[in-house]
Amino acid sequence: MAWIILVVSGVLEAVWATALGKSEGFSRLAPTIVFGVAIIASMAGLAYAMRTLPVGTAYAVWVGIGAALTVIYAMATGTEPASLLKIVFLLMIVGGVIGLKLIH
C-alpha cells in the first residue's frame, strides 16, 4: 500500500509543480488553489509512505516521478521543447525509479 500511495504522491508532485508555474507567483487564484491542495496531499502521502519505506528510497522515487511527469507534461503541452536527449534522460530517471522499487 505504501508504494501505491508513494506513486500517487509523486504524481501530485507534478501537479503542484505545474500549478506553481501557472500561478504566476500566486497571483492567479485557480492554479494557486490547485497548488495548495496538491502540495498538502503530496506531502501527506510521502509522509505516510515513509512510515514503512526507507526515507532515501521514498524521497528518490517521489522526486523522480514528480520531476519526470512535470517535464513530460511541459513537453506534451509545448511549454518546453522536446528533444531526444531529454527523452533519454527522462527514461533514465524512470529506470532509476523502477530499479529502486525492484531492489526494495
What pLDDT, in 10s, does the model give residues 4-23? 999 999 999 999 999 999 99
Cell of 69: 511527469
Half-sphere CA count of 60, side-chain side, radius 13 A: 15
Q: Delimit the domains of the chain by residue range.
A: 2-103
Residue 104: pLDDT band (50, 70, 90) is confident
d(CA 17, CA 70): 7
- Predicted pLDDT of residue 2: 96
* Residue 59 · residue 46 · CB < 8 Å: yes
pTM of the model: 0.91
Cell of 91: 527514461
